[in-house]
Structure formats: structure tokens, C-alpha cells
Amino acid sequence: MGMLRIWFIGGYTVMLLMVIAAMGIKVISVLGPGGLGDATKVWADYLFEPTRMGAILGCIGVVGLLWIAALFKIAKGVDEWERQWVKTLIIGCVVMSGFFVVLCVVGASVFFLDGFAGEVAAKIAGYMTSPVLMELSFFFIGVFLLMVFQIGRRLYEGDEYVEIEVPDEDGQ
């Protein structure tokens, strides 16, 4: 496996695991006293304190930019087929990341909105994470992002019309 693919998959995996761990800490801390709720409450209070959130997000952003810079540097020295392979991976990962972004926005709105809006956000988050509906919401968000990508690609590259010359039966 080429170095570009290893760096891409490794970096994306680490980023995804960090997002899942942060969401898990926040969710488990809500459980309350006893068991994991006590330990994660301390972690969540430390990590999600507003004064630290900016620094933590800034560090994550810097690490993300360094990862992207490393990918660009490595991409200059690899074959074209490997760049196309990673480009396809990036499109798939953007679709998956789109789901997590929507889920994070809905989840954050549960904590920050009060009243009816907060209850609606909690219902949507519950539906999005239930076993069957999560797959359906992932599918619909993916289809939506795919359509947006295709529209953007068509606007940027133009329509793709292919002309095929078919020879006559006489061989002319």
C-alpha cells in the first residue's frame, strides 16, 4: 500500500476516533452518578469548559492542517492512479463526515437550546441515532451530499457528452 493511502487512512481514523471519544465522553457524563458517569463527568467538565474549548479546537485544527499539508507533500511524489484512489476515498470520507457534522450540530443544539427547540433537537438526535433510523438518516444525508457534489462538479466541469461513431453495416 502506498504512503499516501497510509497517511490518509491513518489520519482520518485518528480524527474519527477523537470525535467519537469526545461524543462518548459527553454522552456518558450525562448519565449521572455512579460508574462511568462520575469519571466522565470530571473529564467532560474539564474538556468542554468554554475557556478550554477554543484551545482544544485550535489544537485539533492545527493538527488537521498539518495532516493535510503532509498529504499534499506526499501526493507530489506518487503515481497518478494513487492520487485518484485517494481522491475517491476523500469523497467517501466527506460523505461520512457530513453525517457526523449534522449529528454534532443536532447534538450541540440539544445542550444549547431551551424549550420547544431543544426538545425537537433531542427528538431528531434520538431518531438519527436509533439503530434503523441511523442508517436511513446516513443514507439520506449521503444522497443529499452526493447530489450537492454532482451539481458542483457539473457547474465546475460542465456537462459530459460522449460522441460515439458507429460504423455502417457496409463498413463505411
Q: According to the model, what pLDDT value does residue 171 have?
A: 58
Evaluate if residue 80 carries a pLDDT over 80: yes
- Report the alpha-carbon distance of residue 93 to residue 58 in Å, rounded: 22
Evaluate if residue 162 carries a pLDDT over 70: no
Residue in 49, 30, 142, 29 with CA at minimum distance from that of residue 95: 142
Q: What is the pTM of this model?
A: 0.55
Q: According to the model, what pLDDT value does residue 32 have?
A: 64
Residue in 43, 107, 93 with CA at minimum distance from that of residue 64: 93
Q: According to the model, what pLDDT value does residue 172 have?
A: 56
Q: Where are the alpha helices (DSSP H) in the chain?
A: 3-29, 36-47, 50-75, 80-112, 115-129, 131-157
Extract the C-alpha cell encoding 36: 462511568
> pLDDT > 70: what percent of the chain?
91
Q: According to the model, what pLDDT value does residue 60 have?
A: 82
Q: Which of 11-20, 29-38, 89-98, 123-132 has the lowest mean pLDDT?
A: 29-38
